[in-house]
Amino acid sequence: MKPRPAASFAAAVFALVPLLLTSPAAQAQSIDRQRERCTTEGLSPDLQISACTAVIRSGTDDDFNLAVSFYNRGGAYSALGELERAIADYAEALRLRPDYMQAFYNRGHNYAALGRHDQAIADFTRAVELRPGEARVFYNRGKSYTALGQFERAIADFTRTLQLRPHDPDAYIDRGVASAQLGDYDRAIADFTASLRQEEDAFALFSRGTIYLATGEYRRAVDDYDRALQLDPGFEDAIRNRATAREKLAEGAGK
C-alpha cells in the first residue's frame, strides 16, 4: 500500500474538527451551557450578557424561557448602568410574558433612576396588580410619587409598605419626609422617631432636628444634630443647622 503523505493526513484530521464543533449535538450542549450561565446569580454582568445573547440568538427557546433570557440580560445591563438597554430588554420580556411581574418592577426601578417617574409609577402599578403583597413595589412607587410632589399618594404607599413590612426604617423616614412636606410636623416627627427605634440613622436624626428647628424647639434640634454628626461627622447640612439652632438658643429664643 502506498503510504499517505503526512500533510494530507493532517489536513484530513483537521478538516473534521469544524464538523464536530458544529454538529447539532455540540451546538445543543453549547447553548445549554450558555443558558446555565445566563441564569447564574453572581456571574459578572459582561459574561451574563454574552451568555444570554447567545441563548436569545439561538432561537431554541419558547416564549416563556426566551423572556427569562431577556429579563436576565436586562438585569446585567442594569448592573452596568446601561439603563436604556435594560429597559429595552425588560420590554421584550414583557412582550413575551405580559404577566412578568418582576420585569415590570425592574423596569420601573430603571425608569425611576432615570427620573422618568410617570413611567416608573405605571410599571409599579402594574406590578402591584399582579402581586399585591410586595412591600418593595409600594415603597418604590411611593418614592416616585414623592419625586413628583404627590405626597398624599406617597404617604398611602409608605403606609401600605409598613403594613406589609412593619419594621422598615426607610419607609418610616420617607413617610416622615412626605408628611413634613405637607406641613404635618407631628406625624413627621412620629415617623422619624419610629425609624430611630429600628436603627440609628443620621438622616432621620437630621430630618427630625430640622422640624424641631423650624418649630422653635432649638435644644431638641441641637441634640438631634449632635447625634447625627456622631454617626456622620461630615454631614454639612447638620453642621450648618446646628450652628443656627445654637445661635437661637444663645439669643434666648425658643426652647
Average pLDDT over residues 98-123: 98
Q: Whole-model pTM?
A: 0.85
Does residue 44 sit within a domain? no
Which triple of cell numbers denotes residue 229? 454628626
The residue segments making up the domain with residue 75 are 56-132
∠ CA 70-72-76, nearest 5°, is 110
Of the pLDDT bands very low, low, confident and very high (cuts 50, 70, 90), residue 216 is: very high
Give, as one character, the DSSP assignment of residue 131. -
Q: Who contacts 170 (Cβ-Cβ below 8 Å, separation ≥6)? A: 139, 195
Does residue 196 sit within a domain? no
* Dmax (CA) of the chain: 116
Does residue 201 sit within a domain? no
Which triple of cell numbers denotes residue 151? 405626597
Average pLDDT over residues 4-14: 40
Does residue 79 sit within a domain? yes
Average pLDDT over residues 28-34: 82
Please provide the DSSP assignment of 55-102 as one string: HHHHT-S-HHHHHHHHHHHHHHHHHTT-HHHHHHHHHHHHHH-TT-HH
Does residue 118 sit within a domain? yes
C-alpha–C-alpha distance, residues 198 and 170, integer Å: 10
With 60 as the cut, is the pLDDT of residue 253 above it?
yes
Q: Within 10 A of 188 (CB to CB), how many other CB atoms are there?
A: 23
With 80 as the cut, is the pLDDT of residue 16 above it?
no
Does residue 45 sit within a domain? no
Structural domains counted in the chain = 1
Q: Within 10 A of 50 (CB to CB), how many other CB atoms are there?
A: 16
Does residue 238 sit within a domain? no
Please tell me the least confidently modeled range out of 18-22, 63-67, 168-172, 237-241: 18-22
CATH number at residue 122: 1.25.40.10
Does residue 95 sit within a domain? yes
So what's the pLDDT on residue 25?
55
Give 172-198 pLDDT, tens digit per residue: 999 999 999 999 999 999 999 999 999
Radius of gyration of the chain from its Cα atoms, rounded to whole angstroms: 28
